[in-house]
Amino acid sequence: TRLILNSKAQDTVLHLAAKEGSVEDLEVEDVLKVGYKGIKCVESGGPEPGVGCAGRGVITSINFLEENGAYDDVD
């Protein structure tokens, strides 16, 4: 993601959700960044290693993106 965005790591969906209070308080524009050649990037995030399930962060992020139309204009 850093190479595609030509920048430092972006904030994760889970980090921003924790900061804002919940995933429902986020907007797609908060988490989705467009990089090189129009590639859309999102970082899911997850718990600290050894604490919880990393898959949960991925599921939460994908559900958020689907519910908010992030995939509507892609093939």
**With contact defined as beta carbons under 8 Å apart, do 47 and 58 qualify?**
no
Q: How many CB atoms within 10 Å of residue 44?
A: 20
Share of the chain above pLDDT 70, in %: 100
Q: Which pLDDT band, with edges at 50, 70 and 90, does 49 fall under?
A: confident
Instruction: Give the residue-averaged pLDDT of 32-37.
Output: 93
Q: How far apart are CA 44 and CA 61, in angstroms?
A: 6
Closest CA relative to residue 28, chosen from 46, 37, 19, 16: 16
Residue with tokens 């804002």: 20
pTM for the model stands at 0.80
Instruction: Give the residue-averaged pLDDT of 16-35.
Output: 92
Closest CA relative to residue 11, chosen from 43, 35, 33, 39: 43
